[in-house]
Amino acid sequence: KRNIGYIPDDLVVNILSKVPLASLARFRSVSKGWNALIKGVIRFEKSSQIMLIDSRVYLVSIDFLGAQDNIVNIKSQFSLKEPLSNSSKEVDIREVFHCEGLLLCTTEDDRLVVWNPCLGETRWIKPRSSNNLTRSTRDIYALGKSSCNKYKILRIALYAHGRAHMTPHLYEIYDFTSNSWRVVDQTRDWFMPRLGRSGTYVDGNTYWLAFSYTNEQPWTDILLRFDFSKERFTSMYIPSSGRNFALSVTREAQKLCMLASRADHIDVWIATKIDSTGSMSWSKFLTLKRVYNDQNREFITGMNFLADEENKVIVCPGESMVSDRFLHIVGEDKYIQVDHHEAGSRCSLLPSYV
């Protein structure tokens, strides 16, 4: 005979699914059963997206069909607190890199932290002593995982090379086992654009848009991959030409996808095969004609966007970073502006799903 206090698991899951993810971590210690159920609830939220709005991280849902109120629905706000145990002050976040549920954040005061926002766990990383930035230098970071399931942080120090490009100067890896940085020796024959330096993580590798330069082929657009197992870079094939490019992942299968913008249309490609040698196969997922006047200003190099393979649409931020209407759902026969009235200034849509 069941105890009168028994609650069916499906009812518990239904209740927990209505609790903000940021608050679920405290309930994991109730029992092994609750811990398993909460992990299931977190996996159930896979259709949600991460957004950085006004230096804060949010979990949001977006109606990709635009059938409802065309409003970004905030499901949770994740709070990153100062590392002091009694501090309630929230940390201002500048950039976020997503890797399998973990966020690598750089703060406005140039600190570095790995954060699991769903479980409330953080690990602050001590930057290199040489990490003092000047006007001519910038650091970019990526979090990845090797084939033996060890997390690593890649740091690339870039120097200004003209007005539009940055040239790599130094590569370092942070090892979580030894809690230390070490230099990675690599040949540097490529440049990165000043805009769009954030990488995209897929299956243990991080990808960037870059330029190679040789006497035979000056300023060639390339796809740059960093393998966290081999700890080396590989130049890869880009399937299309264009004046602006951007990288993301697909909503369901988490495949690498690339947006190539031209004067009269935009092509969106999906990587169907990527092997260890750098060989890739691409399939064109979507072609968007430039029908709407505002579209001409929305697609810029390195912008963040999301691709929904099932509904054949992409979601991207608008040109203005201070606007109630700051997201756009674009398909072959669809153009919808999505409102979020709480956004006061800068926002960033991460190319990831949790």
- DSSP conformation letters of 285-296: EEEEE--STTHH
Neighbours of 173 (CB within 10 A): 17
pLDDT score for 62 = 75
pLDDT of 194 strictly over 60: yes
pLDDT of 88 strictly over 50: yes
Check residues 221 and 158 and name the one with the higher pLDDT: 221
User: How much is the average pLDDT of 183-205?
Assistant: 76
- pLDDT tens digit sequence for 99-157: 888 899 999 988 999 998 877 789 999 877 554 445 556 788 999 988 888 899 999 88
Confidence class of residue 295 from pLDDT cuts 50, 70 and 90? very low
pLDDT score for 78 = 83
In sequence order, the 6+-apart residues with CB closer than 8 A to the CB of 68 are none
pLDDT score for 3 = 52
* Average pLDDT of the chain to the nearest whole number: 76
Closest C-alpha among 128, 153, 61, 139 to residue 95: 139
**In whole angstroms, how far apart are CA 28 and each of 59, 77, 117, 351?**
20, 19, 14, 28
Check residues 44 and 116 and name the one with the higher pLDDT: 116
Confidence class of residue 226 from pLDDT cuts 50, 70 and 90? very high
> What does the DSSP 8-state code read for residue 91?
P
Structure-token pair, residue 149: 């399931």
Helix and strand counts by DSSP (H, E) for the chain = 4, 25
Neighbours of 69 (CB within 10 A): 10
> What does the DSSP 8-state code read for residue 120?
T
- In whole angstroms, how large is the CA radius of gyration of the chain? 21
Compute the Cα dihedral for 64, 66, 70, 74 and give only its sign.
negative
- pLDDT tens digit sequence for 149-174: 889 999 988 776 655 566 666 789 99
Closest C-alpha among 168, 171, 217 to residue 191: 168
Confidence class of residue 93 from pLDDT cuts 50, 70 and 90? very high
Q: Decide: 249 and 258 in contact? Cβ < 8 Å.
A: no
> Contacts from 76-84 at CB under 8 Å and sequence distance 24+?
76/20, 76/21, 76/22, 76/23, 77/20, 77/22, 78/21, 78/22, 78/115, 78/117, 78/118, 79/22, 80/105, 80/113, 80/115, 80/117, 80/122, 83/122, 83/124
Q: What percent of the chain has pLDDT over 90?
A: 15
pLDDT score for 121 = 86
Confidence class of residue 75 from pLDDT cuts 50, 70 and 90? confident
pLDDT score for 284 = 92
- pLDDT tens digit sequence for 320-330: 444 445 677 88
Q: Give the separation between CA 179 and CA 116, rounded to whole angstroms.
A: 18
